[in-house]
Chain A
Amino acid sequence: MTTIETRAAPPGPLREFWHYFSENTGAVAGLIIIVAVVILAVLAPVVAPHSPILTDNTAFLRPPVWQQGGSWRHPLGTDAIGRDMLSRLIYGARLSLLIGISVVAISIAVGTVLGLVAGFFRGIVEITIMRIMDIILTLPSLLLAIVIVAILGPGLMNAMLAVAVVVLPHYVRVIRAAVISEVSRDYVTAAKVSGASKLRLMFKEVLPNCTAPLIVQTSLGISTAILDAAALGFLGLGAQPPSAEWGTMLADAREFVLRAWWVVTLPGIMILVTVLAFNLLGDGLRDAFDPKLKR
């Protein structure tokens, strides 16, 4: 009986969203890849055959199993000091997701507040905030990140902070634009008339209605963060050896480009696939939130 009733009811917003989202094969593929990477990252100690930093003195630069000289002991081969590639790649998923999520969390937290303030108070406050964001956007992103790391010193934490600063303007802009378009709506006026405080207006009334662009920007932001942090790692300014960060692994692998293709190609494939998945998801989310845009 209840089933008939639910079928008759109009689709809820979540179901409607899923309907549009699931039409987009790319976005669904992105989501599946992300889920797989997350599972790998969470279960890393279980699924990884070896420790990511354990060196095997009997197997330096051992090729993957399907090539001559490879063995099932190290299915994807070993690096220059005998560490298992597969295990390092799996543990690398942990670091990259950690980087992506932390960076975006920092920039969302700071960006939301700055964007709300800029959108609400306008005038000199807005101009000051947006000018600072413009300056951050003017400097090439990697250059600014490098400058910040040069000041703070290389390392994973500092690299994450640097990338968070670099991506911050995007969040501030998205939130500010959403706030400005929302503030003139009737429901905000109604809340204002009924005596809601500025803080309540900002966080309780307007912010929940700005979540759609924020969610899209989150997915796209994670991909940028992973890519930029890997670039810093590659330049020796991000995560430091022996940590199994994909960019740092590539930096170590550079000198073996002539004789061990697997240490060079595999970490890059992981970066590419993960970043691509988040970009696919972001594009899919944007289309699903705004079906008009598709036409």
Chain B
Amino acid sequence: MLRFILTRVSLVIPTFIGITLVAFFLIRLVPGDPIETMAGERGIDPVYHAKLLKEFGLDQPLYVQYGYYLGRVLQGDLGKSIVTRAPVIAEFKTLFPATIELATAAMLFALILGLPAGMLAAIKRNSIFDHGVMAVSLTGYSMPIFWWGLLLILLFSVQFGLTPVSGRIAVLYYVQPVTGFLLIDTLMAGDFAAFRSALWYLILPAIVLGTVPLAVIARMTRSAMLEVLGEDYIRTAKAKGLPPLRIITLHALRNALIPVVTVIGLQVGVLFTGAILTETIFSWPGVGKWLIEAIGRRDYPVLQGGTLLIGTMVMLVNLLVDVTYGLINPRIRHTR
């Protein structure tokens, strides 16, 4: 077991080095050197420029520079934003909870609808319900979510006036950030009106972000369930005369969930791609919108640090999924 975990963890190291290389070269491939980039459009005095180059070690060969960069990264120093002059990691820390809150809500939405829909579709195979679920999920999977967001705003915010158009909470509420998760912070402060407001602002973005995972989960649950329902032990259970509900929940679902859990874990990257678009549409103050704004302002240290942090995060989640998968399924653990 320990051996299995250690191999998986050691496989992560080259990936991490790769991500740092991408981040390292990002700022060097952009036209102009990093000092000019940091100076921005105001330009910089050549003498001072040369002095800074030396100071930051930018006159050294690339591999030495990369060594310095890796050293700084491992100490948690990701540089400073050109625009705000704040450390990239500090900005990331304040914005990240907003993205997590949105992504969690989206995932809950996808799970609550996707699991039962996929299960029912498999049980009632080839019924109208099955075809309906498959059609809807393929549509969801093909959905340009940036448009889907606009469409929902058009419908629910403009036409019916039900939900707010953008933002994270109504401006009249001020919540002291403790955890950074507004739903938790408002509850801790006992401010239920603010909680309701935050929840209300969360609904549309969560639906938009959850659409693609919902489609993937429904499809995956259905096919995993179909596979399990064809197994011999299900036939045995039926032959024993067990009630269908018991067979499905106790015998089939538990085994069908294994591949589904993996797929859920792998949705983290997809969720982040979606978060960039969703946050942009709804002006949700998270890391996705932060990165897009950084491009607009040519704030390369932010883009560099953000890419590194998000890449590492996705990598670690994948590792976690991989290891958990090995823990629940011994067959995986023992191959290789």
- Interface residues of A, Cβ cutoff 8 Å to B: 26, 131-132, 134-135, 137-144, 146-147, 149-151, 223, 227, 230-231, 234-237, 247, 250, 253-254, 257-258, 261, 264-265, 267-268, 271-272, 275-276, 279-280, 283
Q: Is the CB of B144 within 8 A of A265?
A: no
Choose among B138, B154, B276, B280 the residue that contacts A279 (Cβ–Cβ < 8 A).
B138
Contact digits for B265-309, partner A, Cβ 8 Å, 1 yes 0 no: 000011011001100110000000001100110001001000100
Choose among B151, B280, B296 the residue that contacts A265 (Cβ–Cβ < 8 A).
B151
Choose among B22, B153, B158, B295 the residue that contacts A135 (Cβ–Cβ < 8 A).
B22
Q: Is the CB of A139 within 8 A of B19?
A: yes
Q: Provide the bound-state CA to CA distance between A261 and B155, in Å.
A: 10
Q: Is the CB of A231 within 8 A of B151?
A: no
Q: Provide the bound-state CA to CA distance between A137 and B15, in Å.
A: 10
Instruction: Output the least CB separation between B281 and chain A (Å).
Output: 8
Residues of chain B contacted by A137 (CB below 8 angstroms)? 269
Closest to A138 in B: B315
Closest to A141 in B: B273
Choose among A147, A271, A279 the residue that contacts B303 (Cβ–Cβ < 8 A).
A147
Residues of chain B contacted by A139 (CB below 8 angstroms)? 19, 22, 269, 307, 310-311, 314
Q: Is the CB of A138 within 8 A of B295?
A: no
Q: Provide the bound-state CA to CA distance between A234 and B145, in Å.
A: 11
Interchain Cβ contacts under 8 Å between A and B, 14 examples: A131-B15, A139-B314, A140-B269, A140-B273, A143-B307, A146-B292, A150-B30, A150-B300, A235-B277, A264-B151, A265-B154, A271-B147, A272-B139, A272-B144
Instruction: Output the least CB separation between B293 and chain A (Å).
Output: 11
Residues of chain A contacted by B147 (CB below 8 angstroms)? 234, 250, 264, 267-268, 271-272
Interface residues of B in 8-26 (CB under 8 A from A): 14-15, 18-19, 22, 26
Closest to A280 in B: B138
The number of chain B residues with a CB under 8 A from chain A is 43
Q: Is the CB of B18 within 8 A of A146?
A: no
Q: Is the CB of B277 within 8 A of A264?
A: no
Closest to A30 in B: B138
Residues of chain B contacted by A279 (CB below 8 angstroms)? 138, 141-142
Q: Is the CB of B18 within 8 A of A135?
A: yes
Q: Provide the bound-state CA to CA distance between A181 and B22, in Å.
A: 33
Residues of chain B contacted by A272 (CB below 8 angstroms)? 139, 142-144, 147
Closest to A166 in B: B273
Interface residue B65 (Cβ < 8 Å from any Cβ of A): no
Closest to A226 in B: B144
Choose among A227, A230, A235, A257 the residue that contacts B150 (Cβ–Cβ < 8 A).
A257
Among B26, B273, B296, B315, which residue has the most Cβ atoms of chain A within 10 A?
B273
Main secondary structure of the interface of B (DSSP, over half): helix
- Interface residues of B, Cβ cutoff 8 Å to A: 14-15, 18-19, 22, 26, 29-30, 135, 138-139, 141-144, 146-148, 150-151, 153-154, 158, 269-270, 272-273, 276-277, 280-281, 291-292, 295-296, 300, 303, 307, 310-311, 314-315, 318
The answer to whether residues A131 and B303 also contact, given A143-B273, A271-B147, A276-B138 and a CB cut-off of 8 A, is: no
Beyond A135-B19, A135-B22, A146-B276, 18 additional pairs, beta carbon < 8 A: A139-B310, A140-B273, A141-B269, A143-B272, A146-B291, A146-B295, A146-B303, A150-B30, A150-B300, A151-B29, A231-B277, A234-B144, A236-B296, A250-B147, A265-B151, A268-B147, A268-B148, A275-B142
Q: Is the CB of B303 within 8 A of A150?
A: yes
Q: Provide the bound-state CA to CA distance between A17 and B105, in Å.
A: 44
Choose among B141, B148, B277, B296 the residue that contacts A142 (Cβ–Cβ < 8 A).
B277
Among A143, A149, A227, which residue has the most Cβ atoms of chain B within 10 A?
A143
Q: Provide the bound-state CA to CA distance between A283 and B141, in Å.
A: 12
Instruction: Output the least CB separation between B132 and chain A (Å).
Output: 13
Q: Provide the bound-state CA to CA distance between A131 and B315, in Å.
A: 13
Instruction: Output the least CB separation between B9 and chain A (Å).
Output: 15
Residues of chain A contacted by B291 (CB below 8 angstroms)? 143, 146
Instruction: Output the least CB separation between A135 and chain B (Å).
Output: 4
Q: Provide the bound-state CA to CA distance between A68 and B169, in Å.
A: 37
Q: Is the CB of A138 within 8 A of B26?
A: no
Closest to A273 in B: B142
Residues of chain A contacted by B314 (CB below 8 angstroms)? 138-140
